[in-house]
Structure 1
Amino acid sequence: MSAQQPATRIDAPAERPQRFVFVLLHDFTMLSFASAVESLRIANRMSGRTLYEWTTLGEGGEPVNSCAGIGFQVDDDLRDLSRDDVIMLCGGVNIQGATSKRLLAWLRREARKGPVVGGLCTAGHTMARAGLLDGKKATIHWENQDSFAEDFEDVTLTKSVFVVDGNRLTTAGGTSSIDLMLKLIADKHGEELANLVADQMIYSSIRTDQDTQRLSVPTRIGVRHPKLSSVIQMMEANIEEPISPSILAKDVGMSTRQLERLFRRYLNRSPKRYYMELRLQKARNLLMQTDMSVINVALACGFASPSHFSKCYRAHYDTTPYRERGSHAARLSI
């Protein structure tokens, strides 16, 4: 970014700067955190005023490692905050392990004061664990959606890039922090300033809470075939109770044989094989991100018995569900 002073500035009324308190959780993602902080910094620069201030907290006031292995020295331990502060929890990988009892107790205590509380990337899990999202809409990174839905039935989970529900904010991770911060800046100081911030960040496609976080099916699979996309969407929406290939074919106006040829041509596998891979992928996410029993994981992914599930899992991943979970837990404990 150029060090040259901006030619255009926004005249904002003199007021007390709004303070954001970023709580860094172990293994947080730097992209989500940096995107949020940079949005605030640039808003100050483009307005010519100190509209925002920020500070960082972490358990014990000790340095916190990001998931990239880079340590950050926080400003303070978890401490008493003002009702006017905006609390932003910054999550990343292994959010369950990063959500300690002390953190939850502190978060519940601070939330009773009535501040805005947000969760970047996977930190929506921590907010939900603290009971802050009960009866509310929320989002979380797509990789954590399956486990979140299983763990928090009282939360309405969406696939949006970010969600604002009252004084609760959640994002899907990555650059979605920018989209959320641009909305907050626009709401408080006008869209012109938000657009100037986006322009400085070379961020040309500002998303709203109506945008979904994942690429479209055609983009993900690299194939633009409407009937193939429709079938895959049906598969992804029906993991627990799989739909037979004959019904899938009928729903898009094809014969089972035509559907088979379509999958072979574009994806080099049968519809049954593709569906199985989707189910096993969800099973792997649940094994690594939840405490669900292997039996319940099997049922949640459409397998009638643990033995069939284990057989299919071993054939695809070359390990059993039990060993997968054990090796994952061992890696996290290192």
Structure 2
Amino acid sequence: MSSTEDTNRSRPGRKPPRVAAPATLTIGFVLVPEFPLMAYTAAVEPLRAANTLSGCELYRWWHATPGGGVVRASNGISILTDVEVGAVEPDADRVFVCAGGNPASFDDPALSAWLRDLARRGVTVGGISGGPYLLARAGLLAGRRCTLHWEHVPAFEERYPDIAVVRSLFEAQGDRITCSGGIAALDLMLNLIERDHGPGLAAGVSDWFLHNQIREGLSPQRMDLRLRFGIRDPRVLRVLAAMEANLETPLPREVLAALAHVSVRQLERLFRDLLGTGLHRRYLDLRLDRAHQLRRESSMSASEIAAATGFSNAGELSRAERRGRLQAAMPHQA
């Protein structure tokens, strides 16, 4: 036996070599007024659980908001932040902007400049729910693929047509991370914990929150049409999918019927039997819902919203909305 082998062999009573604790990663959360509390807590709580289960401070975090001080979530709960946006340059490995409400209307040059500075310093910058909208405004998503909450997607695509939007739970591309929000933030953080510290800890954190499946980033955001509408007829489901994909240039009834391989009359009957409304009315409701969404989530003009939802002008859209309100009120009138 060589002397080297002898010295490397554990001797009786000798303590095992000390293993260095993993380096602590610092995560920043930029909370924009009216931020979604569900998405924020789904992002920060897995970090706390990882620390608890590992017995180490694997993660620490801080909060910032434009103007500093207290920031209110969309449900009215307030959080006292640690940092004022732009005032200091805190340590951070990753910074996530969490926004909700109407991110298109939130324009803070100081926040945009601060995010760009963080990115220049090598910080991974991310957005949660409507947060990717603010990353795009800061010029941090050019040439990148991203995702955001499905409610914000139509307005985002109108405003940033050159940015590729994927309707997934989250997208992690190097030093940019985007997340659709809600419970998807939990899946994002579980995937990051797995990347940082292995699948065992990620599985433990997932179990901690009674989350029995860690979803991949490319999983869809929304329920399957079959579940959303409570129907199983493949003909109607094909038509509904085509309607949702063609709101700007509505498809004629004949084209929709051809997709279902039935006559227009048969398709009308299927819609009334399964959805309780006619083909035209259902298509119109989808277009009006999109118009309402764009009005709430973007700064587009009335004529631009009309064009994006298949109406010839703002007046036609306004008349359709007025008729829709009247029809909706009729069943409630005695």
Whether TM exceeds 0.5 here: the answer is yes
Q: In angstroms, what is the RMSD of aligned CA positions?
A: 1.5
The amino acid across from 2:277 in the alignment is R
1:6 corresponding residue in structure 2: none
2:126 counterpart of 1:118 = yes
- CA contact 1:12–1:49 (8 Å) conserved in 2: no
- CA contact 2:168–2:180 (8 Å) conserved in 1: yes
Q: Distance in 2 between matches of 1:185 and 1:157?
A: 25
- Which of 101, 108, 111 in structure 2 is aligned with 1:103? 111
1:297 corresponding residue in structure 2: 305
2:169 corresponding residue in structure 1: 161
2:13 corresponding residue in structure 1: none
2:142 corresponding residue in structure 1: 134
Q: Distance in 2 between matches of 1:189 and 1:172?
A: 24
1:30 corresponding residue in structure 2: 37
Q: Distance in 2 between matches of 1:33 and 1:12?
A: 33
Question: How many positions carry a matched residue from both structures?
Answer: 307
Q: CA deviation at 1:132?
A: 0.7
1:230 corresponding residue in structure 2: 238
Q: Distance in 2 between matches of 1:96 and 1:307?
A: 24
2:203 counterpart of 1:203 = no
Cα deviation code 1:140-184 (max 9, x no counterpart): 111111101101112111110111122111111111110000010
SS of the equivalent of 1:88 reads strand
1:252 corresponding residue in structure 2: 260
2:330 corresponding residue in structure 1: none
**CA 1:251/1:12 → structure 2, altered by over 3 Å: closer, same or farther?**
farther
**Percent of residue pairs identical:** 37
SS of the equivalent of 1:279 reads helix
2:320 corresponding residue in structure 1: 312
The amino acid across from 1:107 in the alignment is L
Instruction: Single out whichever of 108-117 and 97-106 deviates more from structure 2.
Output: 97-106
Q: Which runs of 4+ in 1 moved over 4 A?
A: none
Cα deviation code 1:78-129 (max 9, x no counterpart): 22134x5210111111223444122112112222212111111111110111
Q: Distance in 2 between matches of 1:296 and 1:134?
A: 24
Q: Distance in 1 between matches of 2:297 and 2:19?
A: 45
2:6 corresponding residue in structure 1: none
SS of the equivalent of 1:64 reads strand
Q: CA deviation at 1:12?
A: 8.6
Instruction: Single out whichever of 155-164 and 11-20 deviates more from structure 2.
Output: 11-20
Q: Distance in 1 between matches of 2:276 and 2:19?
A: 58
Q: CA deviation at 1:281?
A: 0.7
1:177 corresponding residue in structure 2: 185
- Which of 138, 152, 155 in structure 2 is aligned with 1:147? 155
- Which of 26, 51, 54 in structure 2 is aligned with 1:47? 54
The amino acid across from 2:323 in the alignment is A
- CA contact 2:31–2:97 (8 Å) conserved in 1: yes
**CA 1:142/1:12 → structure 2, altered by over 3 Å: closer, same or farther?**
farther
Q: Distance in 2 between matches of 1:85 and 1:26?
A: 23
Q: Distance in 2 between matches of 1:157 and 1:229?
A: 24
The amino acid across from 1:123 in the alignment is G
Q: CA deviation at 1:13?
A: 5.5
- CA contact 2:70–2:79 (8 Å) conserved in 1: yes
**CA 1:43/1:12 → structure 2, altered by over 3 Å: closer, same or farther?**
farther
Q: CA deviation at 1:14?
A: 2.0
Q: Distance in 2 between matches of 1:306 and 1:24?
A: 35
SS of the equivalent of 2:154 reads helix
- What is the TM-score with the length of structure 1 in the denominator? 0.88
Cα deviation code 1:28-58 (max 9, x no counterpart): 1111111111100111111121111111111
Q: Distance in 2 between matches of 1:270 and 1:58?
A: 48
Q: CA deviation at 1:317?
A: 3.6
- What is the TM-score with the length of structure 2 in the denominator? 0.88
Instruction: Single out whichever of 59-68 and 259-268 deviates more from structure 2.
Output: 59-68
SS of the equivalent of 1:67 reads coil
2:89 corresponding residue in structure 1: 80
2:77 corresponding residue in structure 1: 70
Q: Distance in 1 between matches of 2:19 and 2:144?
A: 32
**CA 1:284/1:13 → structure 2, altered by over 3 Å: closer, same or farther?**
farther
Q: Which segments of 5 or more consecutive residues in structure 1 lack a partner in the other structure?
A: 1-10, 319-334
SS of the equivalent of 1:202 reads coil
Q: Which has the larger radius of gyration?
A: 2
